[in-house]
Amino acid sequence: MNGPNRRHRRLPGALLLAVALLAGGCTDGGTDQGQGATATPTPTTASADAGTPTAAPSTGGPVTIPKSAFVDLPAELRKSAPQPMQVADALPKLCAEEFATGGRSTAAAAMMSIYKTPKDPPENVPYGTLHQTVFAFAGTDAGDYLRRVRAALEPCRSFTEAGNTVTVRSQPLADTGDDALLVTLTKPATSLDGAPVGGQATSQITVVRVADAVTVVHDQGWEGTSNNPDFADDFARAAVRGLDSWQR
């Protein structure tokens, strides 16, 4: 398994991720439950397609987050079809609610994707999961969101999870969207019953802004194993393409 310091090695061209430009709007991805809200969330308008996520309307009219705004895995990495999930469940929680918008977004939706490696036989367990949230903002709020996330992460150098200490490392992510941040979480590797097995397990959170939208992508290995930073690198680029295609 590659370590975080090798994240800039790219996968072969055949494995580069593609974002599917699918028609239709998103169905309810849930409400951002972050603290410090400054606005009351507007009611969500459900889509006729219950299999896709929807978004809450802004005061200026409906804001729809389409499927094309999300990362869509190529067939060789897709373990199962992506499923909508609640935003409050998709957003990582470290020391507090660092990735919540505090009610400042005009729309929010979330999806979960389960992925594998290209050579995995069908009977293998998945390799990892992506929990992705997409936020739409107005004015300068998208840039403000990244600044708030960075400020919230500054004092959060570690936290406790299931009795284990998880260390937090944040760094800028260059040449990714209009602004981006990479957060690497490292904890002792354990078995499914929580027993130490030696070594470390990592997961990574990528926060990317493109124009007036931000996505938070939490890449986790299956059942507590490490993610692969090479995949996370391409997931970030696919997330940029998704946000860009939506906002053109």
pLDDT tens string 97-127: 999 999 999 999 999 999 999 999 989 999 9
User: Whole-angstrom Cα distance, residue 41 to residue 24?
Assistant: 23
* Token pair belonging to 20: 């599917």
Distances (CA, A) of 203 to 62, 82, 187, 190, 191: 35, 19, 9, 14, 16
Q: Is a pLDDT exceeding 80 seen at residue 33?
A: no
Q: Which stretch of 31-40, 153-162, 214-223 has the lowest confidence by average pLDDT? A: 31-40
User: Whole-angstrom Cα distance, residue 168 to residue 44?
Assistant: 34
* Closest C-alpha to 157, from 170, 145, 148: 170
* Closest C-alpha to 104, from 65, 142, 61: 142
User: Whole-angstrom Cα distance, residue 212 to residue 243?
Assistant: 9
Q: What share of the chain is helix, strand, coil (3-state, %, to 5)?
A: 20, 30, 50
How much of the chain, in percent, has pLDDT values that exceed 70? Answer: 75
pLDDT for 32: 66
pLDDT digit string (tens) for 51-69? 445 444 344 567 889 999 9
Listed in sequence order, the DSSP H helices in 15-106 are: 87-90
Distances (CA, A) of 132 to 70, 174, 190, 238: 7, 20, 25, 12
Distances (CA, A) of 68 to 27, 64, 129, 233: 13, 11, 19, 19
pLDDT digit string (tens) for 144-168? 999 999 999 999 999 999 889 999 9
pLDDT for 87: 96
Q: Are strands 128-136 and 107-115 parallel, antiparallel or unpaired?
A: antiparallel
Among 9-13, 72-76, 112-116, the range with the most confident prediction by mean pLDDT is 112-116
Q: Is a pLDDT exceeding 90 seen at residue 224?
A: no
In the structure, what pLDDT confidence band is assigned to residue 7 with cuts at 50, 70 and 90?
Answer: very low
In the chain, where the domains are located: 26-247
pTM of the model: 0.79
Distances (CA, A) of 216 to 75, 100, 210, 243: 23, 10, 12, 11
CATH topology for the 26-247 domain? Protein Transport Mog1p; Chain A (3.40.1000)
Rg for the chain, CA atoms, rounded: 17
User: Whole-angstrom Cα distance, residue 20 to residue 166?
Assistant: 34
* Closest C-alpha to 71, from 29, 129, 121: 129
In the structure, what pLDDT confidence band is assigned to residue 190 with cuts at 50, 70 and 90?
Answer: confident
pLDDT for 61: 61
In the structure, what pLDDT confidence band is assigned to residue 31 with cuts at 50, 70 and 90?
Answer: low
- What average pLDDT does the structure give for the chain? 80
Q: Is a pLDDT exceeding 90 seen at residue 226?
A: yes
- Whether 219 and 235 have beta carbons less than 8 Å apart is answered as yes
